[in-house]
Structure 1
Amino acid sequence: MLEVDKILERINIVECVQDLGLYVLALSQDKVVYLNKVAEEKLGYPKEEVLGKGISFLLFSSPELLSELKTNLLKKHKFKTMVKFLNQQGKIINLEAHFYKLDLDQEESIVLMIGKDTEELVEIKEKVENLYKNQSFTEFLRSLVHDFNNILQNTLKYLKSIEENIDKPEEVKRYKFLAEKTLKSWIDLNRLLIDYTKGIKDIVSSQVEMVSFLKNNLDIFQIIAGPKIQVQLSLGCLSKVFVPGEETFWRYIFLNFISNAKEAIKDEGTIEISLSLKTIDKRYLVIKIRDTGCGIPEENLEKIFQPFFTTKKESSGLGLFLVKNHIVSLGGKIEVESKVNLGTTFKVFVPVLSANLLTPSKKVETKRLRIILLEDEPEVRASLQEILEREGHQVWAFPNYEELEQKLDEVYSPDLLITDYYMPGIKGFEVYQILKQRFPELKVLFLTGDLLNLAELPNFNLLLKPFTAEELLSKLKEIML
């Protein structure tokens, strides 16, 4: 009999595999010449009963294994397969087994089998997943604590403002409203914490109407962004759009994007949230969150959705990872575009359950106009152009000022400029001032979703998004009187 124990010790195998729970057997001429303590205990046979017997003594219905071993080990010195062993109690043990041919000299060789119980592999996998989930949950809690602290700070600030303005009823009412909204976000975070432990099933079965959701939450978004950052809302020509999820779920997602954008901007800037529809394999709502922050280096773009990746000292690195997982669970996806020092745009694609576009409910008579339409969102621009042309107006539509400037010679005697107030690189008011020099009689209608910064715009030439087609046409008539 070969001194297999000494051979195995020489190749440093015994001590390594013992603690890992690996089965180790050695075969010579198809007979078992060695089995380690793990194999002896799991199979239930004393070593003396196994040594010297053919391996078929231990196998369960695997007569083809021996020929398979010989065929494969002749071609190469290692081979992997699944093996079924039958222990002394009659239980089948499924092993993922690796076989190695070890040449001792020119005439002698042994076949070494190292195997792992597949049931134990499943258990290990579950333990690792639970460990990862617990670690993720710990980091998730840490990020929530940070949010809770921000909420408390803002609430205390508003309560102090109420005390300082106690003799000013309007100011007290305003700060009371802000404090209530801020505390409501605390309740939402608590609900999110509970929902995180329940899983995604209930969230997927719910639905939210995104237009009213964004309008109702714009003020809390502005609070999180702070006074130096404008949160702009562009709802396009959507009057209603239903998507999967529930309000707490979506509020967490938007607050995550806004918090990230705020940190990227650092001082003054804008965060624009816009909606549009796009059909790919099915109909999606595209939610764009665009900021004017410092941008993300190209080498980090593919890493930002990985768990625990962060470039910030106090960040858990789980925010965007959780957001992406939540969106994917709804059947959606996230894309990101960014340039250093120019800003970042996140695009969230989520399936549409139903949507209503702005359409005129009744005809409002007005004279036929020649209109310059300046709108950077393609779906919004197309919808507005369709509404205006349906009423008989002539429309020159452009996605940005640069294209308008290039094709300005094609525009003749325009009556009206309709422009989004916040255009990339230029404000609508600046565009109007430029065009006014060439067309002195030109009038203007500004479109905006910014509820908190309207002081610079006169009411008579302002239309707040979202609006109905009827409201648009009525405003045209009012302006052109």
Structure 2
Amino acid sequence: MTALSVVGRSSKYSSPAPRIHGDDALYRVAFETSKVPTLIVDDDMTVVLANAEFAQRAGYSRSEIEGRMQWTRFVPETERPRLEKYHRIRRIDPAAAPHCYESKFITRNGSLHIVAVYVAMIDGSKMSVIALHDITERKQMEDELQKAQKLESLAHMAGGMAHDFNNALTIILSSISLARHYAAASPEAVAKLREAEKEIMRAKGLTSRLLTFSRGGEPSLKTMKIDDLVLDTAHLSLLGSDIHASYHVQDNTWHCRVDASQIAQVVSSIVLNARQAMPAGGTLSIAIENVRLDQRQHHALVSGPYVLITIRDTGIGISPEHLPRIFDPFFSTKPRSSGLGLSSSYAIISKHGGHIDIFSEQGIGTTVYLYLPAAPEDAPATVPELSERKASLLLVEEDKQVRETVAALLREYGHAVTPVPSGVQAVRTYETALAAGNPYDAVILDLSPIGREGGRGCLKALLELDAQVCVIGGSRYAESFNLAEYRQYGFAHVAQKPYNIDQLIEILRQVMLRRP
């Protein structure tokens, strides 16, 4: 490589600057004015020359660097053996050492950057030219992409698992609700059956974590202030511990569009992690504040207003080797842990249009930053009076046991139910009833793929037959729908599976109130 002819340095680097021969002044100008941080390094790794850009990035003056510091002074100790090895090999056989590699660059104030290092030997000497390209932002974006790809790879598996699990829960819950109806004369039996229903609804929470990874786990968004939600969840998660909690909430925090249950799940998971990191007690501080971000400040977020939740603990911290993997699904260092807590949290916050950052230092503690997009305040919805009318229902459900159990349960509550197994049959049945002048009051439509048309095709066909059709979506694994915006697809309501009979009857009452 032709570069500066650097001469005049003694072994002690006593000369304040190298002399430049004739035309080499052109190279010196290019070196000095380049916006690429560049060094010339001697055989013993001492920096002979540093251009102005390198000095500015490093935070030192050139007089502090040149002849006084080794190149490895600017990389972490863990990186130095590798760079020293490359340096030795390059002086024996330049072709045997990599001319480009990734490393880390430490500035005077301790900030760490990921850099691409380009190295070439200077012809006729033992010196080399080193140029650095900061790729920190690119690596962070790659890391975000890898996280997203890992979660995406589990989407179909998680959705399928939730589908099957919810089918089983629907059959069990419907059967218990039916038994409770039959046992109305026995208060003791009803009480026990209600306990069983509660436990099944707790099991439903497990499927919600799986659905978070699938497209069917979209949040059901409502506009609200999140202050009380965050603090109440944190308080409950700390009950019985020796941890001192401190809270700071900025006045007039902005509203956010959130799924309250999912955000509570995120906060609970983070606070429980903090609690486990402080077995002998400690301090947990939570701050909620309004922030305005520019995309240049945070590459993972679009510019705009956000509500920032900061959760900081004084626990044992996370080791550097584990920190890059904390969002990996099923990764955990704790026994009997599912490893889904933080990966679920990451997916939830991402689906809300936000972002989660975690910084940790062993022996100091961990800080979690949750960014949620701010939203304009919406007026609260009014709740109409409920109707007692009974409905004629078309139940579309592909699973035979679920179909029969739910139909029997609805009939016990006085509703007339026609169960069908496919979308094609549902359209034909509805069309026949419509032609006879007796359209169904509502269609309960399973949104998992049904027959060849699937839930979406069935809904479209029903709307083409009757623009006034009332369709209640039964959701568990709905790959084609964002259930948070169900009305824009033509649904009157959405009922989460496994069905809670009280909630389903409530939905039917509201639906009937709107019927002429």
TM over 0.5: no
Q: Max radius of gyration: which structure?
A: 1
Higher strand share: 1
Of structures 1 and 2, the one scoring higher in RCO (CA 8 A, sep 6+) is: 2
TM-score (normalizing by structure 1): 0.34
**TM-score when normalising by structure 2:** 0.32
